[in-house]
Structure 1
Amino acid sequence: MKKNIVLIGMPGCGKTSIGKILSEKINLEFYDVDKYIEEMTDELISSLFKKGEEYFRDAESSAIKEICKKENIVISTGGGVIKREENIKELKEKGKIFFINRPLENIINDIDTDSRPLLKDKKSNLINLYNERYELYKKYSDVIINNNLDLHSVIDNIISNINR
């Protein structure tokens, strides 16, 4: 396999949890784009958002470019990575993109909106983000993985789709 495995989807869909377990299971290095941005900028995501969403998106695009120089890795992206086509181009160049499609009601029931800058204090913001982004996730993904089962079933489904 010469491709990266890229996970996209809504905040709270399971990208990071799935990515960590998947990378261990198939013995590839794992990159969480948000953590990478925090290390790269020496600032928390919430602090970057305080400077404006565009400021954060610029940092995100820089991080994507850096991470995409690597091969044979698992990448968990932030939920808004699809807002810039340049990010998707970078990710697709060496990667296969998996949309982790988790039912919105499941996300709403267990996401901590207070820790997510774009969802701060309002679950209705999550619904708005879902409506704004869902078609983009579908458009940019190579494979749609439904996350309505246990994580290990989801991961097995990704593994079976990696080399197709």
Structure 2
Amino acid sequence: MNNIILTGMPGAGKSTIGVVLAKRLGYRFVDSDLVIQERTGRLLHQIIEEKGIDGFIQVENEINESLDMEKTVIATGGSAVYGKEAMVHFKSIGTIIYLELSCESIAHRLGDLSERGVTVRKGQTLEDLYEERIPLYRRYADIIIDCEDKMIKDIAAEIESALKN
């Protein structure tokens, strides 16, 4: 149980903060979205186009549940929290950290959702998605880090400090 799993909305900084945190701790870094692409041989948006959002979430859940590593910072996709089995697995292999950011900040960072490959259902707004996911991020989190108006290096230092407590 020595991994660090970063969760949060798309645009919260999971991958960027994950790389910085891994360097600070001397850990490996893995982006679960890239593992999904590598194992399926498809880009995320291609999986969504072929299998639909529910099919993508099933693929994501299966792959995340199979991740077996040590001393690794794992940046998950924003939709990873829909996979109950994967989240239970993550809890068993490490500490889950939710990178919390306001919906306004997420919207500013993301821009066009379709270009980012965000799993949004037809007719669903970013605000709807935000309200749907926040309770899930909070439920699974061992540690919640407020990332609003903070620099990457400061967030990484805050995570490192929280892990020592």
Q: Give the alignment's TM-score, normalised by structure 2.
A: 0.90
**Percent identity for Structure 1 against Structure 2:** 30
Q: 1:132 aligns to what?
A: 132
**3-state SS of the aligned residue for 2:119?**
helix
Q: For each residue in 1:121-152, what CA deviation from the matched residue of structure 2 results, as whole angstroms up to 9, or x when unmatched?
A: 98x62111100011111111000001111111
Query: How has the CA–CA distance of structure 1 residues 136 and 21 changed in structure 2, closer, same or farther, with 3 Å as cutoff?
Result: same
1:120 & 1:15 partners in 2: Cα distance?
22
SS at match of 1:118: coil
Report Cα offsets for 1:16-50 as digits up to 9, x if no partner: 11001111121111110101100110100000001
Does structure 1 retain, via aligned residues, the 8 Å contact 2:65–2:87? no
Q: Specify whether residues 121 and 83 from structure 1 end up closer, same or farther in structure 2 by C-alpha distance, changes over 3 A only.
A: closer
State the partner residue of 1:34.
33
Count of aligned residue pairs for this structure pair: 161
Structure-to-structure mapping, 1:118-129, within 5 angstroms:
118-119=119-120, 125-129=125-129
Tell whether the 8 Å contact from 1:13 to 1:101 is kept in structure 2 after alignment: yes
The answer on whether the counterparts of 1:49 and 1:117 sit within 8 Å (CA) in structure 2 is no
1:70 is the counterpart of 2:100: no
**Residue 54 of structure 2: aligned partner:** 54
State the 1:115 CA deviation: 2.1
Instruction: Tell me, yes or no, if the aligned pair for 2:10 and 2:118 is still in contact at 8 Å.
Output: no
Partner of 1:16: 15
The amino acid across from 2:65 in the alignment is: K
Does structure 1 retain, via aligned residues, the 8 Å contact 2:30–2:72?
A: yes
Distance, in Å, in 1 between the alignment partners of 2:126 and 2:46 is 20
Q: Deviations over 1:46-77 (max 9, x none)?
A: 0000121222122212221232x111100000
Cα distance between partner residues in 2 of 1:117 and 1:157: 27
Which residues of structure 2 form unaligned runs of 5+? none
Question: In structure 2, what is the Cα distance between the partners aligned to 1:100 and 1:40?
Answer: 26
User: Who is 2:83 aligned against?
Assistant: 84
